[in-house]
A = this chain, B = another copy of it.
Amino acid sequence: MRRFPREYCGIFGVYGHPEAAKLTYFGLYALQHRGQESAGIVASDGKEVHEHKGMGLVSEVFTEQILNALKGHIAIGHVRYSTTGSSTLRNAQPFVVYHLGKTLAIGHNGNIINAYQLRRQLEEDGAIFQSTMDSEIIVHLWVRYFHLGIEEGLAKALSKVKGAYSLVLMTEDTLIAARDPLGFRPLCLGKLKNGGYVVASETCALDLIEAEYIRDVEPGEIIFINEKGMQSLYLPKASRCAHCIFELIYFARPDSQIFGQNVYLFRKRQGYELAKEVPIEADFVMPFPDSGNYVALGYAEATKLPFEMGMIRNHYVGRTFIQPSQSMRTFGVKVKLNPVKELLKGKRIIIMEDSIIRGTTCRTRVKTLRAIGVKEIHLLVSCPPHRFPCYYGIDFSSRGELIAAFKSIEEIRKYLGLDTLYYLSMEGLLKATHIPKEHFCLACFNGDYPVSLEKGFSKDWLERQ
């Protein structure tokens, strides 16, 4: 099965609803696409803090009884996808600690690039660690600056942290949301009908619980919400933004607003741009479901070609699927997607895809299509080739896995067995965003990293702990 590039996490927080944990449950549900490995919720009634975390989907980790025990009007939640192999409960979030009579909880989305240095320094100062999570580093830093006060202490701590982070934090009586100064990962603020507040990785979580979208948490902003209302502190202003463009291209749900743009309409615009750049003669356009859906709609609309859904997805593919025996190895790919032979046979088709990481899944799918007699296969990718690893929270960072880092487009086309392979140009992509180029992190395409790595950076080091 294709190894999708996946972001680490989705985060959610509520202040001011009598069933804050239940709202958080629904919010995480809407954010489940951002992490399926573990889920956790921490809730407080202003005094006592309760938590529950577990491995698996939100719907597996929580029961009615568990949610009822997570009492209180404040809650934060987290869903996690790990790319590192440390898939243990130990690394599930939110992370909860005790310090000087206070209970602190934190959920993190992103990746800190000076984690090694910070951790080393903290350990040299006597700190012990119980996980390999960035969250644990942040909370260690926070308490070091508690003498400045909870609020200023957190601002001071975050000023030491480099990299990508959208955070939800909690004390017994306060909900906190924070976003790094470059705004790598999304984080939005909403208002409940009863006046309470919500923060979430994506607006689709606000929609589900009928919260009104107010605005994004600003890059560099730390919002504190408690009895006294909502206040913000600001980290030193950065000269630019570094929104992860892959959130728009792939991660975010199409019904979300991200970085001020509706994801569905953005993806259609990618299709328009592709139609301008590479008009192809074919019988119809189709996506590899579901990620290519909206680009394909846009391309079809612009080219007046028919849109079809030629590969049928099995909605019951679970996480515990039993592997086929050696003799059945090729079944694997069809477990998830089955082509509609009668539609595809003898046809010239254009397929839309959001990205090609390693190329192995794509190659198998193309083979399957050839086997049932598809005549021509033209693959259009809705962004430039991925040539550089991501250090800010996306899982295509590992060595040698990016097919475009080592092969030319023509070589990739041959490897995949395509008639045509075309990548949307950087210009076309940026045009579709309606956002200035300098607001994005485009490092995975052009190697231009907005926050430079320090000597000794090595996520691996942490993993070996």
- Of the candidate stretches A339-347, A392-400, A407-415, A425-433, the one touching chain B is A339-347
9 A-B residue pairings within 8 Å (CB atoms): A30-B314, A59-B316, A123-B143, A127-B127, A207-B341, A254-B340, A255-B338, A255-B341, A300-B307
- Of the candidate stretches A93-101, A229-237, A241-249, the one touching chain B is A93-101
CA distance A64 to B324 in the complex (A): 10
Q: In residues 96-137 of chain A, which contact B (Cβ within 8 Å)?
A: 96-101, 103-104, 120, 123-130, 132
Q: A22-B324, A265-B342 are in contact. List 7 more A-B contacts (CB 8 A).
A: A26-B331, A100-B124, A127-B143, A207-B334, A253-B312, A262-B340, A262-B342
Name the residue in A103, A128, A257, A307 with the highest tally of chain B Cβ atoms < 10 Å from its Cβ.
A128
Q: In residues 327-358 of chain A, which contact B (Cβ within 8 Å)?
A: 327-328, 330-331, 334-335, 338-343
Residue in B closest to A65 when the chains form the complex, CB atoms: B322
- Chain B CB within 8 A of A74 CB: no
- Chain B CB within 8 A of A178 CB: no
The interface residues of chain B lying within 8 Å CB-to-CB of A127 are: 99, 126-128, 143
- Chain B CB within 8 A of A19 CB: yes
Main secondary structure of the interface of A (DSSP, over half): mixed
Inter-subunit contact B328/A264 (CB<8 Å): no
CA distance A312 to B104 in the complex (A): 36
Q: A306-B301, A331-B209 are in contact. Are A98 and B465 (CB under 8 A)?
A: yes
Smallest Cβ distance from A73 to chain B, in angstroms? 13
A interface, how many residues as a size bin? 35 or more
Nearest first, the 5 closest Cβ-Cβ pairs linking A and B are A262-B342, A59-B318, A97-B128, A32-B316, A255-B312
Inter-subunit contact B128/A208 (CB<8 Å): no
Residue in B closest to A290 when the chains form the complex, CB atoms: B315
- Chain B CB within 8 A of A164 CB: no
Inter-subunit contact A128/B104 (CB<8 Å): yes
Smallest Cβ distance from A20 to chain B, in angstroms? 12
CA distance A132 to B343 in the complex (A): 42
Inter-subunit contact A126/B126 (CB<8 Å): yes
Interface string of A272-297 (1 = CB under 8 A from B): 00000000000000000010011001
The interface residues of chain B lying within 8 Å CB-to-CB of A209 are: 328, 331
Name the residue in A62, A123, A210, A340 with the highest tally of chain B Cβ atoms < 10 Å from its Cβ.
A340
